[in-house]
Amino acid sequence: MDDTRTPARPAKVVLATRNQGKIRELSALLAPLGVTVVGLADFPDIGEIPETGDTFLENARLKARAVCQATGLVSLADDSGLCVDALSGAPGVYSARYAGENASDAANNAKLLAALAHVPQSARTCRFVSVVVAAGPDGRELAAEGAWEGRVAESPSGEGGFGYDPLFFDPTAGQTAAELTPAEKNARSHRGKALAALVAAWPGFWERR
């Protein structure tokens, strides 16, 4: 695919993440666009982008704009997290660093289970939220949001996915996110819904003048 064609329909998109789990999911969900998808591993000079926003939208915008400015290419950023009702929406935008900076998935999951140790199943309702933002060199931005309702399980289950997937129980599926196949997860997940909305709006958005 020729990357030099008119910017009305971007030929290449940079994903503003080094998270391999996110890259796999986002690449699969962007497949209908027929664009070349690369991650930040292709741009080693781009350092960590501070997520200083108070909302998922603010953080996604910060990342998309920073990577777009650094590469000169359309950049797509996802900011997502788990919002637990019994914890007043926590860990929320701090999901990736709930147990501290550079915390492992296991550490974050352990802290979440400890915080909910005395909370009954009926009160462990939660949702995954994802906001995706595509930023273009001409200043245009396209944003979309998705949510996935569920409950926090009492113990991890499943080998797939990443992050809080082993603890996120989907009552409709009767499984945790980590027990679903990638295709099953993408069909119902917060990120899948956000990307579906973005993909639907994509052609008309970039062709607008």
Q: What is the pLDDT of residue 208?
A: 64
At position 169, the amino acid (one-letter code) is F
Q: What is the pLDDT of residue 1?
A: 38
Residue 168's φ and ψ, nearest 5 degrees, are -90, 110
Averages of pLDDT over runs of 10 residues in the chain (209 residues) are 49 90 85 90 90 95 97 95 98 96 95 97 97 94 97 96 96 97 93 93 76
Q: How far is CA 148 from the centre of its chain?
A: 12
Tokens describing residue 123: 């009160």
Residues designated catalytic: 79
Confirm whether residue 18 is marked as ligand binding: yes
Q: What is the pLDDT of residue 6?
A: 39
Largest Cα separation within the chain, whole Å, is 58
- Cα–Cα distances in Å, from 181 out to 92, 118, 159, 168? 25, 31, 10, 14
Its pTM stands at 0.87
What three-state secondary structure class fits 79?
strand
10 Å CB burial of residue 80 (0-12, 13-18, 19+) is buried
Confirm whether residue 191 is marked as ligand binding: yes
Confirm whether residue 146 is marked as ligand binding: no
Strand ranges in the chain using DSSP code E only, listed in sequence order: 12-15, 36-38, 74-84, 125-135, 141-152, 168-170, 175-176
Sheet of 168-170: strand order equals 36-38, 12-15, 74-84, 125-135, 141-152, 168-170, 175-176
CATH number of 12-207: 3.90.950.10, 3.30.70.20, 1.10.1200.10, 3.40.50.300?
3.90.950.10
Give the span between the Cα atoms of 207 and 204, in whole angstroms: 5
Q: What is the pLDDT of residue 209?
A: 53
Confirm whether residue 52 is marked as ligand binding: no
Confirm whether residue 128 is marked as ligand binding: no
- Cα–Cα distances in Å, from 114 out to 48, 84, 117, 118, 189? 29, 13, 5, 8, 25
Confirm whether residue 165 is marked as ligand binding: yes
